[in-house]
Amino acid sequence: MKNFTISIVTVFFSLFTYSVLAQQCAFDNQREILLQNPNYVQQEQLAEQKIQNFISNNELAQRNGTVYTIPVVVHVLHLGEEEGTGSNISDAQIQSSIDNLNDFYRGLTPNSSVDFEIEFALAQRDPNCSVTTGINRIDASGIPGYASNGVNVVNSNGADYETIRDFISWPSTDYLNFWIVTELDNNGGGFGYQGYAYFYNEFSNYYGSVMMASVFGYDPGNTNGWGLNSNGDNSTVVHEVGHYLHLYHTFQGDDTNSDGVADACPADVTVGTDSDGCADTVPHQRETSTCPANNTCTGSPWVDNNTINNVMSYYFCTDRLTEDQKTRSRAAMTGTKIIDSKGDEAPESGFVAPTAVCSANSPAGTNLAGILSVELNATTFISSTTDNDGGNIDKSINCSGLFNIDTDNPYTMNVEIAAGNFHQLGVWIDWNNDGDFDDDAETQHYSEDIVGGSIVPVSLTYPTTIPYDSYVRVRLMTDADNRYGGVNTINSPCYTSLAYGQSEDYALYIEPGTLSIEDTDTNELSIYSDHTNNELVVKGQLSEETIVTLYDIQGRIVREKTLDTSSVINTLNVNGLSSGVYIVKVSNRSQLKVKKVILD
């Protein structure tokens, strides 16, 4: 068993070169730049502590069976070619890469049976909640240096990472960003640097992975004519995603002078400096052109194939990952925002951002107080303390921060508070969406003397008039409690004197439920299913223009029709809809009826 020391000078950047020629790795080149930021160093240290605590507490066993799904967006930065030619690679090539990536990390390839219980899915919704394929094609020929040199790594005049990231990226806490580029360091898309990735780190501006179009795909026999490097085996993608999941190279620490050439045998003591942090791989030196029978650091044969065949090495015969690498990756990703992202789910139809309200202040960075997570109706959003997230988080502006409830059931919101200090917490809901929190039942909760690390249950209180089929704003606000100097009681959802805490806003969609909200006129209406003719029937006299709307159980509109006021019987065609429970709403300016129906 290895005893590891946590390094405070490990960097979140790694680069992979896969070819028959020895190549430099830009890990060391980027390291000095990134480590100039003390906050970045602290974030890496905290991430490693989290991983080691996870391992020490044997938390993996508690989470076995829980599959983490990571939404993916593929930004294809082409030069204006037709889709499927040159750097503008086809949908089929992209899908082949994602499919192979999932096979590998779910232990479904011939020589790699370790199931990480991590999957990758092309996004179905973009950051604005519009439908997407998860493939984002952009002509990048106008980026300075890109058309002639691609992306710069260490020695070209190509575009740098910051330029392409700022050119197009989606939030790193909701999506794994892949940038598919023409070339790296003016290598013509051939040998040399193939791609690079950053450790997942939701507080950093360095995230995702950059790879050449010539490596992004799985076609070992080259039967599709994609012209892939690395034998078409998708190994670069699998390798770089390993870095994204906090895996180091298995030879970590073999290059003491950072020139890209092995000059030492790793001591295997300090994670990220001279150790990869995995007990089931052994220290060795990098090689890119062979698969030697002996470990060059020991002179003896390999004890098993965990290292010589490991995807995180540079050997030419890599085909597997290990159980300890799985543990490390699961530890790194557990509790992160991205595993709760809705990016891989189809967007809710008709999302309308709630009315804007007053803003709370944004205190100077501290880590004394804050909200760590909010859970409601089986949906959880993970945040962090003020020091990392800032004083104000507004997720209400799009469906990335959307809770759903109906009007039939009681609900409890569970708010997890940061550890270490006593807190106060306020919760408000703008039920009538009028831009304030002053109306019936809009103050939901206030408490103080909350022990740090607690989960505070907040039972939702409904107003007299329930605003079904609408999107409203939820605000949570926390601060240290008033036993700390300079801290006052949170006395308003528009409080502007937060000392150490933060406010967080979310959207809440109120689905139509089985509870009817109706006046005496609509009591004469009847709604029922005609299974023989695949219709819904609305029977009764209508006094003015009336609309019937049918929702699925997720609150999405699936049918809608204006009814004939001259007829006592109106019908709505439901042919082609799946069997199940639906909500039907009949409404006009003076009448309203909501009912649950079952379609067979």
For residue 8, name the pLDDT band (cuts at 50, 70, 90). Answer: very low
- Give phi and psi for 40, each to the nearest 5: -65, -40
Give dist(CA 393, CA 337) in Å, integer.
14
For the segment(s) 520-599, the CATH number from 1.10.580.10, 3.30.1330.20, 2.120.10.30, 2.60.40.3080 is 2.60.40.3080
Q: Write the class of the CATH domain 5-333.
A: alpha beta
Question: 281-317 b/e with 16+ CB inside 10 Å = b?
Answer: bbbbbbbbeeeeeebebeeeebeeebbbbbbbbbbbe
What's the average model confidence in pLDDT over 270-277? 92
pLDDT at residue number 389: 60
Q: In the chain, what are the domain boundaries?
A: 5-333, 349-511, 520-599
Give dist(CA 78, CA 143) in Å, integer.
11
Within 10 A of 431 (CB to CB), how many other CB atoms are there? 24
Q: Chain-wide mean pLDDT for the chain?
A: 85
DSSP strand E in 370-501: where? 371-376, 379-382, 392-394, 402-406, 412-417, 423-429, 443-450, 455-459, 470-480
CB 409 within 8 A of CB 515: no
Give dist(CA 327, CA 132) in Å, integer.
32
Residue 362 confidence (pLDDT) above 90: no
In a 13 Å sphere around the CA of 509, the CA atoms on its Cβ side amount to: 23
Give dist(CA 202, CA 204) in Å, integer.
6
At 213-270, the pLDDT tens digits run: 999 999 998 899 999 987 899 999 999 999 999 999 999 999 888 777 899 999 999 9
Residue 530 confidence (pLDDT) above 90: no
Q: How far is CA 140 from CA 184, 209, 331, 480, 547, in A?
A: 14, 17, 36, 48, 47
Residue 480 confidence (pLDDT) above 80: yes
What's the average model confidence in pLDDT over 58-63? 78
Residue 127 confidence (pLDDT) above 70: yes
Residue 125 confidence (pLDDT) above 70: yes
Task: Name which residue leads in pLDDT, 5 or 347.
Answer: 347
575 CB-near residues (< 8 Å, 6+ apart)? 534
Pairing verdict, β 371-376 and 569-573: unpaired
First-residue to last-residue Cα distance in the chain: 59
Give dist(CA 435, CA 429) in Å, integer.
10
Within 10 A of 127 (CB to CB), how many other CB atoms are there? 18
Give dist(CA 200, CA 43) in Å, integer.
11
pLDDT at residue number 21: 36
Pairing verdict, β 470-480 and 423-429: antiparallel
Residue whose C-alpha is closest to residue 463's, from 493, 428, 435: 428
Look up residue 582 and give its DSSP letter. Answer: E
At 388-409, the pLDDT tens digits run: 566 788 888 777 788 988 766 7
Query: Cβ-count burial of 133 within 10 angstroms (0-12 exposed, 13-18 middle, 19+ buried)?
Result: middle
Max CA pair span of the chain: 93
At 340-355, the pLDDT tens digits run: 898 999 887 778 889 9
Give dist(CA 104, CA 109) in Å, integer.
6
Cα 386 from chain centroid (whole Å)? 20
Give dist(CA 14, CA 329) in Å, integer.
15
Residue 105 confidence (pLDDT) above 50: yes
pLDDT at residue number 542: 80
Say which CATH architecture domain 349-511 belongs to.
Distorted Sandwich (2.70)
DSSP-derived secondary structure for 313-368: S--TT--B--HHHHHHHHHHHTT-SGGG--TTSPPPTT--PPPP------PPS-SS
Give dist(CA 81, CA 88) in Å, integer.
6
Residue 68 confidence (pLDDT) above 60: yes
For residue 129, name the pLDDT band (cuts at 50, 70, 90). Answer: confident
Give dist(CA 580, CA 218) in Å, integer.
39
Residue whose C-alpha is closest to residue 578's, from 595, 549, 553, 547: 553
Query: Cβ-count burial of 160 within 10 angstroms (0-12 exposed, 13-18 middle, 19+ buried)?
Result: middle
For residue 596, name the pLDDT band (cuts at 50, 70, 90). Answer: confident
pLDDT at residue number 18: 35
Give dist(CA 16, CA 243) in Å, integer.
9
Q: What DSSP element (H or E) covers 219?
A: none
What's the average model confidence in pLDDT over 499-509? 89
The whole-model pTM stands at 0.74
CB 304 within 8 A of CB 293: no
